A and B are shown apart, each in its own frame.
Chain A
Amino acid sequence: MDGLILLLQRFTFRHWRQAPRTTLLLGLTLALGVAVFLSIRMANRAALSGFSNFTELITAESDFIVQATAGSLPEKALLDIREAIEPYAAVCVPIIETTASPPRKEGEPSGLSQRETFTLYGLDLVSLQNVSTAKGQSETVAEGGLGNLSVLGKSHAVFISSRLAEHRGLKVGASLELVMQDQRVVLEVGGIMPDRDKSVRVPETFLLMDLPALQRLLGRSGQLDRVEVILEKGKLGQQARAEVQRVLETQGEARWRVSTPAQRRESASVMTQAFRWNLGILSMLALVVGLYLVFQALDGAVVRRREEIGVLRSLGVEPRTLQHAWLLESLLLGVAGGILGGLMGWVGALAAVKLVGQTVNVLYHTTHTQGVSFTLEDLWMALTLGMGASLVAGWWPARQAARTPPAQLLTRHLPQPVGGGRWRKIWPGLIWVALAAVLATLPPLRLEGGGRFALAGYGAAICLVVGGGLLAGGVLQLMGRFLQPLARWSAAVRLAASHLRRASSRHRLAVAALLCAVAMTSGMAILVGSFDRTMRGWINRTFQADLYVASDGAQSASSQNRILPATWRSLRDQPEVEDLNVICFQPLQLPEGETLLAAGDLGFMRRHSDMAWMQKPESEEIYDKDRNAGLCLVSEAFSERFRKRRGDEVLLPVPDGVRKLRIAGVYSDYGNERGTVIVDRVHYAVWFSDESASRLAVQLKQGAAPESVRAAWLQRHPGLSIFTNGHLRNEVMRIFKQTFAITYALELIGVVVAVVGLGMSLASVLLERRAELTTLRALGMSREAMARATMLEGVFLALAGTVCGLVVSVALGWVLVFVINKQTFGWTLQFTLPWMAMTVLLLLVVGSAALVSWATGRWGADLPADREE
């Protein structure tokens, strides 16, 4: 042990002191890998931990949530719920929930997901006060500000969060204008919601109104979204848990379903599970590439200190002690990198959380991003990752340092090691590729709630990259041979060609890392390109109406703003309207999982759009509202998720029971991954007693100018967003691209790291060739020529990595499009190679590799023969 410490002091720490920049770079590299992984983890947590239950925020977590099996819960059910649980110490909190957004500013164009979305809760402000006392909390809600019951009976009084009050300088009595349903409404701040404590602040976008007032404003009198049941704090309250659940479930029969907040959170979490896992895997990539960099750096350090290791070995230091010293050095670096990475990750999360939150809002549900927190668990994970990665990366160089005989270490003129034989063989690469092919055929992992995870698909992708990396090493020799004829023109080319022909394991690793990063980036570009093209085709076929109308308050996927019947009827009756489709969306809980119910005029779809079919209806029955009451259409995602095909039955829960519907056809849809069931709106309106609309598609009469109609309608209905066909298409594509922003950022980090790694790799190679460089200088080779030779070497390494990466990316893109995407989202895409993006990537990587390797070459050309660093 003493020997080990002595070695650390005299050997490791001395080097760190002598080359602080190299040590810092090493630590930073490790930290970067840890940081990327951690930042995504933290951002995910912050963006998705939004509170699903409002009561949790201001009072206490509910014990049960009672919701209608479909649609709204009639408020009369409250009386039945109260009666059912009368013997038990429990409080009921009826809730209605909606979304609202601030109105467009003067001159602001209509857009999707551009303004913040408020979640507006309607709670019985009087009975809410019983929750605190029931929970035995010393500080009651009444004392915090909600006790201001003077707002009762005021139809527009709203309580706002303290954060909103701070940010906007809103005081009690101030006005707050919002679009609710399809109307612009001016609310009056009736009070400021108290935060339960400083760590759990009410999200800025939460608003609270008295339940009956909100019901009236929304035109939803008599309706509730859910009733939360909270058991009282004492022994009897808590003992009754199982009994209350049983009674609620029994009494509910087909009218309502009972869940717990944990189940509700889980259901929300299932919805975004695939999204989170995908991000997690991408962020792991950065860690793996970071690991590669550390490996390169430590390996470089072994190379640089060969002679010193040789001396130590000659002096009798045991190989085992040397290996331990190297591993300990790695570990120390790991600790430093881990801590630094943790902090950098936190900073990164602050930036990433907005992107993650935006994506979740657009694709899944309204989320209220919480502050990014750095927990002890995060610190522990950062340290584990840092130390783990550095030990893994340091293991091989440590072994090399310990195992190489002293004589070899002390000799500068021995040829560079060309790496283990197995790395030069083709068969390991082929085996990996074959494994990828097998994995690509396996089905996805089915998760609870209808979710799927393409585990085998990801496995196939990894195998492809590893296999490609192993095979790419062979390309270097081919390149060397290809360069040979050109060698006579220049000494630099000759030199580069000779090095490539004798490619070391370090060369191969650099190529493999580049290949990995390029393949992933380009593969993702193929996926996005395929998506892009498919989406455009789908949009062109599907979106053919002249105008699309939504509430101006509907700013996210989960916006609940509706267009009131009076509004859409008045639009329908306009002389310029030829045909109008009233479309309504309703989240739907099937026994197998959550999905979306869409209702519309199926005849309109037949007349005015060209649906893309996976399985086309076999008859015209589905388009005829007199004959389609027992029929439905389902999206491809639904079909994949619930394994239902044309002719199968869907049991659709409706407020008065269950409707048995036959699937008439399966259509392509890229709107959501939960799947959609479409029924004719005439039946929906009866089943759900709901005449409101989520969207309108309007076909104008010949000669009517959409832009002028739009302007006139907006004038009359400022609470609406109206899109012309072209405008909507652009908005859809803009949002679609926005959802890939994080993916691109992560991929870019991978490429940057790989290029930096290439530079480090070349630096190690040059250090190894110090003797050769000295000889070349003695022979009269200019420093410029030597730098050019290194640059050429680097460029060809980059070319090998990038070209092979692009080739592998085609296979990887195929796996992403046809396996991972299909299994995760259930969408069939048209495979497209984005040539332009791939070419730009090639040029970028090779160009930056040229710069990096030229700089490294310049540095190497000045290396004295006996310098260590």
Chain B
Amino acid sequence: MLVFGAVWLLAGALGAQEPLLKTAEGFALPQPGRKFEFPRDHGSHPEFKIEWWYVTGHLYAAGGRRFGFQATFFRQAQAQSKAGEESTLYQHGQMHLAHMALLDAGSGMFLHQERLNRAGWDAEADETTLAVRNGNWSLKMIRPAEQAMQLRGTVAGEAKFDLELIPAKPLVFFGKDGVSRKADGPTAASHYLTFTRLKTRGQLQWGDEKLEVTGEAWMDHEISSSQLDPEQSGWDWAAIQLKDGREIMVYRMRRKDGALDRHSTLAWIDAAGKVQHHGVDQFVWKELSHWRSPVTKANYPIRAEIQTVDPSTGKPLHLKLEPLAEAQEQTGAMGGTAYWEGACRVVDAASGEELGAAFLELAGYTGDLAGQFR
């Protein structure tokens, strides 16, 4: 889940050749071999410039009703704030952006909303455990022993949900030695922690309709201080949950010259939670068809085929990602960047068999993303 790395992409200290401990602004950089402690490391890391908690999932209600949801909480430090100058209720050194979205797959109705607050009275991120809030949207670890989380919120004044998320598989760390690289630049990296499968249950209210829902979710927690390279124009990312208990996390970093960045990757997570990374030359991301946004006019390749090799069989596997609805765009009035983030079904391109569900993220289709934020 990288989109926000670019949304919040800001020039860090680029250009240094030696491994760095800090950016020029004084923010920490991800270091290999970092020892994580939980639940503290589920919480906020203000020593890093950028951090987000991202949950997407698929919900099912009685009668075969299906929903997709997204909840993302971002934190970004504007600069290392000077202690004592800020009121605790208005800390403009820390900004919190959040996005919520909900899709009713049956009707195709898509709700989305975003919020921007500085840290303080209406947004906060705990440094001791997972507890992030933006307005009345919150994600909290409610039972640390089983790492059970609660996600609550309302979307666009039309819908409301209260979900409990319990990891069905252990936490995984993407990248090498706990550091996930996104570009060649010494600062373009993150700590990338993910619960790839969370059993989800709770209540969903849409208008007057109140539903009990169950389903599965995916949660990323990414910590960095600068992720992207100025030569990158955008990225496509997908989180695929297969019915056989395995998952795939895949992203391709698109460069301005049309090539793919060599740090693009595809990771298989087996049923036990073990991660196997495939490099940029070991998978293919094929665009199948596009959808043009009537709001931003961006032309998103919302249907894609991921061609990889199934590590369990050693045979090629072509997975088609088919969106549950075309219009799943976050139009980005506040964050400044529009992107498409949508629930998809995953189909075997050869047999047509439905193999699982996915969330697909397509960013950088409304202009030069990296340039826009520099």
Q: Hey, which bits of chain A sit against chain B, CB under 8 A?
A: 75-76, 78-79, 82, 85-92, 94, 124, 126-127, 129-130, 132-134, 136, 140, 142-143, 152-153, 210-212, 215, 221-222, 231-238
What residues of B have a CB within 8 angstroms of the CB of A90 in the complex?
Answer: 136
B118 in the interface (beta carbon within 8 A) = yes
- A sample of 15 cross-chain residue pairs with beta-carbon separation below 8 angstroms, ordered by A number, consists of A82-B122, A82-B135, A88-B136, A90-B136, A124-B117, A124-B121, A129-B116, A140-B333, A142-B334, A152-B118, A210-B90, A215-B87, A233-B156, A234-B159, A236-B158
Q: Are B158 and A124 in contact (CB under 8 A)?
A: no
What residues of B have a CB within 8 angstroms of the CB of A91 in the complex?
Answer: 135
Q: Are B92 and A152 in contact (CB under 8 A)?
A: yes
Chain B min CB distance to A87 (Å): 7
Residue B90 contacts which of A92, A130, A211, A232 (CB distance < 8 angstroms)? A211
Q: A235 and B207 in contact (CB under 8 A), knowing A89-B136, A94-B121, A215-B87?
A: yes
Residue A130 contacts which of B117, B121, B208 (CB distance < 8 angstroms)? B117
Nearest 9 CB-CB pairings of A with B: A234-B157, A232-B157, A237-B157, A234-B158, A89-B154, A212-B90, A89-B157, A152-B92, A78-B121
Residue A233 contacts which of B118, B157, B207, B208 (CB distance < 8 angstroms)? B157
Besides the known contacts A85-B136, A134-B157, A236-B159, 5 further A-B residue pairs in the complex with CB atoms under 8 A apart? A86-B138, A94-B121, A130-B115, A232-B154, A236-B157
Q: Which residue of B lies closest to A238 (CB)?
A: B157
Chain B min CB distance to A450 (Å): 35
B113 in the interface (beta carbon within 8 A) = yes
How far apart are the CA atoms of A90 and B90 in the complex, in Å?
A: 19
Chain A min CB distance to B116 (Å): 6
Residue B334 contacts which of A82, A89, A140, A152 (CB distance < 8 angstroms)? A140
Give per-residue flags for B125-161: 1 if the beta carbon is below 8 A from chain A beta carbons, else 0.
0000000000110100000000000001010111110
Chain A min CB distance to B119 (Å): 10
How far apart are the CA atoms of A232 and B115 in the complex, in Å?
A: 12
Q: Are A127 and B156 in contact (CB under 8 A)?
A: no
Q: Which residue of A lies closest to B85 (CB)?
A: A153
Chain B min CB distance to A62 (Å): 15
Q: Which residue of B lies closest to A132 (CB)?
A: B333
Chain A min CB distance to B72 (Å): 15
Within 8 A of A (CB), among B175-209: 205, 207-208
What residues of A have a CB within 8 angstroms of the CB of B117 in the complex?
Answer: 124, 126-127, 130
Query: Interface majority SS on A: helix, strand, loop or mixed?
Result: mixed
Q: Are B334 and A129 in contact (CB under 8 A)?
A: yes
Chain B min CB distance to A235 (Å): 5
How far apart are the CA atoms of A237 and B153 in the complex, in Å?
A: 12
How far apart are the CA atoms of A49 and B160 in the complex, in Å?
A: 38
How far apart are the CA atoms of A301 and B156 in the complex, in Å?
A: 69
Chain B min CB distance to A749 (Å): 53
How far apart are the CA atoms of A143 and B336 in the complex, in Å?
A: 10
Chain B min CB distance to A243 (Å): 13
What residues of A have a CB within 8 angstroms of the CB of B89 in the complex?
Answer: 75-76, 78-79, 212
How far apart are the CA atoms of A76 and B121 in the complex, in Å?
A: 8
Q: A143 and B333 in contact (CB under 8 A), knowing A79-B121, A126-B92, A134-B113?
A: yes
Residue B156 contacts which of A92, A94, A136 (CB distance < 8 angstroms)? A136
What residues of A have a CB within 8 angstroms of the CB of B92 in the complex?
Answer: 126, 152-153, 212
Q: Are B333 and A236 in contact (CB under 8 A)?
A: no
Residue A133 contacts which of B78, B115, B160, B208 (CB distance < 8 angstroms)? B115
What residues of A have a CB within 8 angstroms of the CB of B113 in the complex?
Answer: 133-134
What residues of B have a CB within 8 angstroms of the CB of A85 in the complex?
Answer: 136
Q: A231 and B90 in contact (CB under 8 A), knowing A82-B122, A133-B114?
A: no
B358 in the interface (beta carbon within 8 A) = no
How far apart are the CA atoms of A626 and B334 in the complex, in Å?
A: 57
Chain A min CB distance to B54 (Å): 20
Q: Are B90 and A124 in contact (CB under 8 A)?
A: yes
How far apart are the CA atoms of A136 and B112 in the complex, in Å?
A: 10
Give per-residue flags for B93-116: 1 if the beta carbon is below 8 A from chain A beta carbons, else 0.
001000000000000000001111
Q: Are B154 and A130 in contact (CB under 8 A)?
A: no
Chain B min CB distance to A626 (Å): 37
How far apart are the CA atoms of A644 and B122 in the complex, in Å?
A: 44
B368 in the interface (beta carbon within 8 A) = no
B86 in the interface (beta carbon within 8 A) = yes
How far apart are the CA atoms of A142 and B78 in the complex, in Å?
A: 18
How far apart are the CA atoms of A127 and B123 in the complex, in Å?
A: 10
Residue B157 contacts which of A92, A210, A231 (CB distance < 8 angstroms)? A231
What residues of A have a CB within 8 angstroms of the CB of B135 in the complex?
Answer: 82, 91, 130
Chain B min CB distance to A493 (Å): 86
How far apart are the CA atoms of A85 and B122 in the complex, in Å?
A: 12
What residues of A have a CB within 8 angstroms of the CB of B87 in the complex?
Answer: 75, 212, 215, 221-222
How far apart are the CA atoms of A212 and B90 in the complex, in Å?
A: 7
| Most chain A Cβ neighbours within 10 Å, of B138, B152, B334 | B334
What residues of A have a CB within 8 angstroms of the CB of B334 in the complex?
Answer: 129, 133, 140, 142
Chain B min CB distance to A64 (Å): 15
Residue A212 contacts which of B86, B114, B115 (CB distance < 8 angstroms)? B86
Q: Which residue of A lies closest to B138 (CB)?
A: A86
How far apart are the CA atoms of A94 and B90 in the complex, in Å?
A: 11
How far apart are the CA atoms of A412 and B92 in the complex, in Å?
A: 93
How far apart are the CA atoms of A222 and B90 in the complex, in Å?
A: 10
Q: Are B121 and A82 in contact (CB under 8 A)?
A: yes
What residues of B have a CB within 8 angstroms of the CB of A132 in the complex?
Answer: 333
Q: Are B114 and A235 in contact (CB under 8 A)?
A: no
How far apart are the CA atoms of A76 and B88 in the complex, in Å?
A: 10
What residues of A have a CB within 8 angstroms of the CB of B160 in the complex?
Answer: 87, 89, 236
What residues of B have a CB within 8 angstroms of the CB of A86 in the complex?
Answer: 136, 138, 152
Within 8 A of A (CB), among B308-356: 333-334
How far apart are the CA atoms of A87 and B117 in the complex, in Å?
A: 18
How far apart are the CA atoms of A127 and B91 in the complex, in Å?
A: 12
How far apart are the CA atoms of A88 and B160 in the complex, in Å?
A: 9
Q: A88 and B154 in contact (CB under 8 A), knowing A78-B89, A212-B86, A212-B87?
A: yes
What residues of A have a CB within 8 angstroms of the CB of B138 in the complex?
Answer: 86
How far apart are the CA atoms of A487 and B87 in the complex, in Å?
A: 92
Q: Which residue of A lies closest to B111 (CB)?
A: A234
Q: Which residue of A lies closest to B158 (CB)?
A: A234
| Most chain A Cβ neighbours within 10 Å, of B87, B113, B121 | B121
How far apart are the CA atoms of A742 and B69 in the complex, in Å?
A: 63
Q: Which residue of B lies closest to A126 (CB)?
A: B118
How far apart are the CA atoms of A794 and B248 in the complex, in Å?
A: 106
What residues of B have a CB within 8 angstroms of the CB of A82 in the complex?
Answer: 121-122, 135-136
What residues of A have a CB within 8 angstroms of the CB of B156 in the complex?
Answer: 89, 136, 232-234
Q: Which residue of A lies closest to B207 (CB)?
A: A235
Within 8 A of A (CB), among B69-89: 78, 86-87, 89
Q: Which residue of A lies closest to B153 (CB)?
A: A89
How far apart are the CA atoms of A327 and B224 in the complex, in Å?
A: 87
| Most chain A Cβ neighbours within 10 Å, of B86, B117, B118, B157 | B157
Residue A236 contacts which of B116, B118, B205 (CB distance < 8 angstroms)? B205
What residues of B have a CB within 8 angstroms of the CB of A142 in the complex?
Answer: 333-334
How far apart are the CA atoms of A237 and B89 in the complex, in Å?
A: 25
How far apart are the CA atoms of A94 and B117 in the complex, in Å?
A: 13
What residues of B have a CB within 8 angstroms of the CB of A210 in the complex?
Answer: 90
What residues of B have a CB within 8 angstroms of the CB of A222 in the complex?
Answer: 87
How far apart are the CA atoms of A92 and B78 in the complex, in Å?
A: 23
Chain B min CB distance to A142 (Å): 6
What residues of B have a CB within 8 angstroms of the CB of A127 in the complex?
Answer: 116-118, 122
Chain A min CB distance to B364 (Å): 21
What residues of B have a CB within 8 angstroms of the CB of A92 in the complex?
Answer: 122
Chain A min CB distance to B361 (Å): 21
Chain B min CB distance to A124 (Å): 7
How far apart are the CA atoms of A591 and B89 in the complex, in Å?
A: 32
How far apart are the CA atoms of A90 and B159 in the complex, in Å?
A: 13
Chain B min CB distance to A83 (Å): 9
How far apart are the CA atoms of A94 and B118 in the complex, in Å?
A: 13
What residues of B have a CB within 8 angstroms of the CB of A130 in the complex?
Answer: 115-117, 135
Chain B min CB distance to A194 (Å): 14
What residues of A have a CB within 8 angstroms of the CB of B95 in the complex?
Answer: 126
How far apart are the CA atoms of A89 and B152 in the complex, in Å?
A: 11
